[in-house]
Chain A
Amino acid sequence: MSSVAPDPPVTHAPEKSWTVKVREAGVAALPPEKLLPDGQPTYVASWIYMFGVASIASLIVIIGSGSILALKGPAWWHYTGVGHFFNSIHLWSVELFFFAMVVHLWGKYWMASWRGGRSRVWITGAVTFLVAIPCALTGYVSQQNFDAQWISTQAKDAMNSVGAGAFFNLTNFGQMYSYHVLLLPIAVVALVGAHVLLVRKHGVVPPFELARRKAALATAASAGSDGSPAGADGGAQS
C-alpha cells in the first residue's frame, strides 16, 4: 500500500483564490524546467562562472558551522577544542565567502551582467554584499573576547555619529548576538534566494556581440529583407 497521497482533486477554486493566484504566478515566472534547468548555454564556459556557486557554498558552510556554535552557546568555543575548531571553520568560511563574492562581483561587472533586463540581478547581488558586511560586524562583536571589546568600543562611534547607536548598540552583546544569529542571516539568505531566482528567470547573461559580427548580422538582415536567408549561424544570436 502506497504512503503517498493521491493527487488532490480539482476543486474548481474561484479565480480570486489567493492560493491559485500565487501558484499560477510562481509557475508562470519559474516553471520547473526553468527553476532547475539541466542545461546551460554553450557560452557558459569559464571558471569565473563558478564563483557564484562558490559564494553560496561558503554561505552554507558558514550557516552550518554557525548553527553548531549556536547549539552550544556563545561561550563554548572559548573553553573546548571542538568549539574552537568549529569557530575556526566559521571564521575561514566567512573569509572564503567574501573572497568568492568579490571575485564573482569582478567577473559579473566585466561581463556587464545587468544587460538584457537583468538590473535586478545586479542590485540584489550588490545589496547582498552590503548586508553581509554588518552581518560580519555583528559576528565580530559577538566573539566575547578582546577583539569584540575593541571593535565594539570603536565602531560604536560610527553608529552613534549617524544616530543609529540609539537603536543598534554594538556594546550590547545580547542584541548583537540576536542580529548575528537570526536577523541578518535571514536577510542575507532572502537576498541570495531572490538573486538566484532572478538569475534562473532571466538566464545567464549572453556574451557581448562582437562589432564585426554585429555589422555582418546587420548586413545579412537587410539582405534578408529582400528574401534571402538571414544570419550565418542559425540562431546563435537573434
Chain B
Amino acid sequence: MSLLRSEDDTQPWKGRYYPYDLVKELCIAVGVVGLLAVLLTVLFSSPDDKPSTIAQWSQQKPADFVTAAVKELDGTSPTAEYGPPYNHNSGSVQHFFFLHPQRWLGVSHPIDTEKDYVVGPLETIPNDPTLAAALAQYKAAPATQKKQWAEAYAKPLEETATAEEEKKTAPNTVSESNGTVIVKTSGNAGPVPALMGSLLALAKSGGVDGSLLTSKQFFQTDYTKPLLFMADGGLLDERAEQQHLLGEQWGLMNETGSYPGQPWLWLYALWYQVEPMKSSSSADIEVLLIMSLLSVAFICIPFIPGVNSLPRKIPIYKLIWKEHYRDVTSA
C-alpha cells in the first residue's frame, strides 16, 4: 500500500464551497426515480409467466413425463445421478483440478428418486388392488431385477426421445392413446408399465404435485423435489428456449418476454460462451472462480498498479471537472 500511496499526492480540499442542499437533492431524486418507475410501469408493466406444474407436464407431454419418471425409478435421471447435496453419486459433481467443493458439505437435501418420485406418491393411492399388487411385486424384487424391468421399459422411450431430438424418424415403439402412454418393450418390464400408468394418471390429476410438497410436513415452502423432477423432463427446457433463457442463448442475462433482464451480468454470461468453459462439465465452478477473482480485483482497484493510474492517463476527468479547471487556469 505504501508503494501506491507515494503516487497519490491528493491533498485535502482547502478551497471554496458553495451552498448545496443535500436533503432537497435526495427528496428530488426520490421523486424523479419514483415517477420514472411509475412511468415505466404504465408503459411496460412486468412479466408474469405462470409456473408449470407436474399436472400440466404430464398432460401436455405424457411420453416425456413417463420417460423422466422411469429414469427416476431406475436411478438414471439427472437428479438420481447428481451427487451432493441430493445423494452420494457423482453425475453432476463439478471440480476445479483436485478441488471438489461440491462434496465438502455432504448430502444436505437427500432425494431418493425411486421412493420420492414414484413409489411414495403411488403408495398414497387407495383402493387400487391392481396397483397394490404391482407395487408389492416391485418392492419385493431384488435390486438387479428392478433395474432390468425399468431398463426394458425405459429403452424404447429413450430411443424415441433421442430420435425426436435429432429430428429423425422415431421407432414405432411408443404411442399415446386415451391419455395413456403405450410402450412396446422388447424385454420383460414386470410391474413397471402398471406403475408408470398409475403414476401418469396421478400426475394428471395433480396428485404428484401435492404429494411432493406435503410429504415432509403439512406446511411446506421447499419446492426442491417437484422442481428437480420437472427439470429432469423437457417442459421447462422447451419453455425456456422459447423465452431465450437457455445458456447458449445468454439466458442468464434475460427476462421472459422482451423485458430487459440483468444486463449487469454480461461478463458472467460471457465466460460460459468461450472455451474451455463452453464444453466443460465443470463450467459452473470454473466461471464462478473466474468471476470471484475478478470481483476481488474490482474491489481492489485502488491498489492495482496500472488500473489505478488509468484514470489519470485517459483524461475523462477533464470533462467532469471542466468548470474547475477553467477557473483554476484562468486564475
Contacts and interface: CB of A to CB of B under 8 A. Distances in A.
B224 A171 contact: yes
A207 B73 CA distance: 68
Contact of B92 (A57, A119, A157): A157
Given A43-B321, A48-B320, A57 B29 contact: yes
A237 B327 CA distance: 13
A222 interface: no
Interface string A36-63: 1111111111101010011011101100
Nearest to A58: B33
Contact of B328 (A127, A154, A210): A210
Interface residues of A, number: 94
B256 interface: yes
A163 B105 contact: yes
A162 B285 contact: yes
A3 interface: no
Contact of B18 (A40, A50, A93, A213): A40
A24 B7 CA distance: 34
A167 B324 CA distance: 52
A145 B50 contact: yes
B168 interface: no
Contacts of B32: 54, 57
B205 interface: no
B143 interface: no
A96 B33 contact: yes
A40 B94 CA distance: 53
B245 A41 contact: no
B85 interface: yes
Interface in B10-53: 10-23, 25-26, 29-30, 32-34, 36-38, 40-41, 44-52
A192 interface: no
Number of contact residues on B: which range applies? 35 or more
A52 to B, nearest CB: 9
Contacts of B12: 116, 203, 206, 238
A84 B48 contact: yes
B109 interface: yes
A97 B48 CA distance: 21
B37 A161 contact: no
Contact of A153 (B17, B221, B231): B231
Contact of B260 (A95, A114, A173, A233): A95
Interface string B96-111: 0000011111101100
A160 B84 contact: yes
A107 to B, nearest CB: 7
A126 B324 contact: no
A88 B41 contact: yes
A142 B81 CA distance: 27
Contacts of A38: 19-22
Contacts of A45: 321, 323-324
B33 A54 contact: yes
Contacts of A122: 299, 301-302
A213 B33 contact: no
Contacts of B125: none
Nearest to B101: A163
A208 interface: yes
A71 to B, nearest CB: 18
B240 interface: yes
Given A144-B51, A206-B11, A237-B13, 4 more contacts: A114-B302, A148-B51, A161-B285, A166-B104
29 contacts: A40-B17, A43-B13, A43-B15, A61-B30, A65-B37, A89-B41, A91-B259, A96-B36, A98-B264, A112-B308, A114-B301, A119-B302, A145-B48, A147-B47, A149-B236, A150-B240, A158-B285, A160-B94, A160-B284, A161-B284, A162-B284, A162-B285, A163-B102, A166-B106, A171-B224, A173-B223, A207-B317, A207-B325, A235-B15
Q: Which 7 A-B pairs have the closest CB atoms?
A: A174-B221, A166-B105, A116-B10, A114-B302, A57-B29, A39-B17, A163-B101
